[in-house]
Structure 1
Amino acid sequence: MIPEPAPTARSVSARPATEPGLSPSAGSSDGLTDPRATFTVLFVCTGNTYRSPLAERLLAARLGPDTRVRVGSAGTEAPWGDKMDRATRSVLTGLGGDARGFRPRLLTAELVAGASLVLGLERQHREAAVRLVPVALRRCFTLKEFVRLAEGDAGPGQGIDVVARAVARRGTVCAPRPADDDIADPWRESYDVLRRCGEDIDAVAVRLAALLSAERGPVVRL
């Protein structure tokens, strides 16, 4: 188990949180949809305990305060709780992220439908989102898969253009192994494993933020 700080135990009896786990710059209204946000990103992992909260808050930090991108996260088996896991918060703050206001929540069809881009931390999470909303297939990827496909030879662009670029390259630019598109679950591993997981996610979040850097404008305050 992750020793210090003590992690929150994962529960398989999932219940949604009463408030969404949105990045601080995105405001605090329910769901991901907001007419003042030009592009929304939803990260998905299993428990919404380690990987997807790190991805959500690290991307928000790398995008900066002037972004119009709205960022959130959810889990396919999210536990009932009202705050971020202590070990995750420790890793996040060490990497420069902000844990304030986070609450774990369960992945729902409404969340998938309201996102411009859904990024699973593993292939199973991408597939879970597609099962909930089959028509969202074209905007569901794993985090590593999306960045690999979207980068190509082009630079930053509007979010919708970056997604179209990734869709166009799908099936033509493959990872050496399918598992290379996954970020492994640090559950029941040591704190050092969680920290390295956070560093891995942050490295990809920096690349994703660069791809979405054209989405600039006034900070959304709700």
Structure 2
Amino acid sequence: MTRILFVCTGNVYRSVLAERLLAVRLAPGAAVLPESAGTRARPRPGMDPAARAVLERLGGDGSGFTARRLTAPLVADAALVLGLAREHREAAVRLAPSAMRRCFTLKEFVRLATDGTDEAQDRVPEEGAARGATGLGPVVAAAAARRGAVLPVPAAEDEVTDPWDRPHEVLDECAQDIDRAVRRLALLLGGGGVRG
């Protein structure tokens, strides 16, 4: 099972939405386990009611969730670590420096892995190959190599807005932004990307 770890600050909104939306957007039978954690999370069971409502409107399942804090073992054990902002990617690298080439923001990874195109499926090494760690490895390596070879983009292009303590419309926009990126990520992981 290939573990993909999403990271935000509180493990309340952004990383939870990314984890649960990827789970529903993956192709049936994909050997991928989406997980999430927060750099300042306080462990607690259950999703925030507003986040759960938005998630369920997008077709996700909010049951059985428990918030947790980001740790070095979580980073080290993940095949891919995706922060929802650059600060989250950097926090993961500080905890496990050897994971640096596997740490990106969600939007950065999708942008680099698809070479800036909308044709994510074309970037998969072989049809459906990215479903396991061996298939995902070349995609992650190519994205890491491209990171140093392309011009940097403004931070806002690689980050998802934090909806914490903001109007509900911001949470809705945040969820839709995450869902667009997660659908492209699901294609990179061997299909799917369109359910829900």
| Correspondences of 1:161-180 after superposition (within 5 Å) | 161-180=138-157
Tell whether 2:188 aligns with 1:211: yes
- Give the Cα–Cα distance (whole angstroms) in 1 for the partners of residues 76 and 176 of structure 2: 29
Residue matched to 1:14:
none
Residue matched to 1:50:
13
Tell whether 2:97 aligns with 1:137: no
Moved over 6 A (4+): none
> Residues 133-187 of structure 1, C-alpha deviation per residue, up to 9 Å, x if partnerless?
0111010000000000001274223211110110120122345312211111100
Superposition RMSD in Å: 1.5
Question: 1:209 Cα shift?
Answer: 0.4
Give the counterpart letter for 2:78 in structure 1: A
Give the counterpart letter for 2:62 in structure 1: A
Tell me the TM-score normalised to structure 1 length.
0.77
Give the counterpart letter for 1:156 in structure 2: V
Hey, which of these two has a bigger chunk of helix by percent?
2
Aligned residues: 178
Tell me the TM-score normalised to structure 2 length.
0.87
| Correspondences of 1:44-193 after superposition (within 5 Å) | 44-152=7-115, 154-157=122-125, 158-193=135-170
Contact 1:162 1:212 in 2 (8 A): no
Contact 1:44 1:120 in 2 (8 A): yes
Give the counterpart letter for 1:204 in structure 2: A
Which consecutive residues of structure 2, in runs of 5 or more, have no partner in the other structure? Answer: 126-134
- Give the Cα–Cα distance (whole angstroms) in 2 for the partners of residues 214 and 203 of structure 1: 15
Contact 1:155 1:211 in 2 (8 A): yes
User: Which has the larger displacement, 139-148 or 171-180?
Assistant: 171-180
Percent identity over the alignment is 56
